[in-house]
Amino acid sequence: MKTLRNVATFSMIFFAASIFAQIERSRAVTLMGSKFEITLVDKDSLSAEKNIDKSINEIRRIENLISEWKPETQISEVNKNAGIKPVKVDSEVFTLTEKGIYFSKLTDGAFDISIVAMDKIWKFDDSMNELPSEESIKNSVKNVGYQNIILDKINSTIFLKNKGMKIGFGSIGKGYAADKTRELMQSFGVKSGIINASGDISAWGNQPDGKPWAIGINNPFKDDKIAAVLYLKENAVTTSGSYEKYAEINSKRFSHIMNPKTGYPSTGLTSVTIIGPNATMANGFSTSIMVLGKKEGLKLIKKFPEYQYLIIEDSGKIVKYLK
């Protein structure tokens, strides 16, 4: 009987282990013009692959709503009718536009979803060796201005007051897609995963070994070192930076992240990493702080204590608040 009890006990342990077994699967795809890496921890390989397919479809769905590059999207329709008429959009598009305007008001225009209408007079491909003229810089922002985005909540319409205006979600769109994909997977019962949208990351749950997801933040001034390791469980992290794409003129670095109010690139900060509950908000903060600079940026983010930050100045100095 002792032997039978041991067999029964072993069978129960094996059965329990099979219930809680977790398989990790990853896939990299190009969506929204960027590389997405989708990693899910699921009950088996088949379920994981099917849910990765569903994740890809969700990101593609969002892209087909908000991309300003695809002529058939609702945002493209809004842009085509700038200065002509309001355009009715889905509630999701309307809400995301509201979020963009919220950040614009919060930052006094340092963040602006209408920046996509800015003239492309700056080049970040090593071809610039002198600054554009002051007149051309001033003229480059003539169609930028969130104040001229008119929202009608009752009719769910967006109207751009001036011809030549455009809106786009390059600054928060990938973070939003990562958040929505996380929500979808959680609704399907996927207990753990990480959606990496070219550095805009939304994570939940733990790795199969029970440890939290670990993300290293690069130190652009020290190739062999990282600035910090972040442990994610049910939150997001985004980074905005100038260290990969910039122009250097007269020994001064100009970021590809532009100031929508002035038409000049942001200066002073090399990267801004934000950690918090969701990637959409973190995206907005990291972009805004790059434009605002350290002093005003810290003043902004400290109003939102649920968000942490790691800021690297052009001097290499690191300013951080990590719990």
Is 171 marked as binding a ligand?
yes
Q: How many CB atoms lie within 10 A of CB 18?
A: 10
Cβ neighbours of residue 180 closer than 8 Å, sequence gap 6 or more: 58, 62
Cβ neighbours of residue 237 closer than 8 Å, sequence gap 6 or more: 201, 203, 215, 230, 273, 274, 275, 279, 282
Strand locations in the chain (E): 23-31, 34-42, 87-88, 149-152, 157-160, 192-197, 200-204, 213-218, 226-232, 236-241, 246-249, 252-255, 269-276, 308-313, 318-321
Is 240 marked as binding a ligand?
no
Q: Find, among 178, 177, 120, 176, the residue nearest to 144 by Cα.
A: 120
User: How far is the C-alpha of 178 from the C-alpha of 218, rounded, in Å?
Assistant: 21
Residue positions in the annotated binding site?
A: 171, 287
Residue positions in the annotated binding site for Mg(2+)?
A: 171, 287
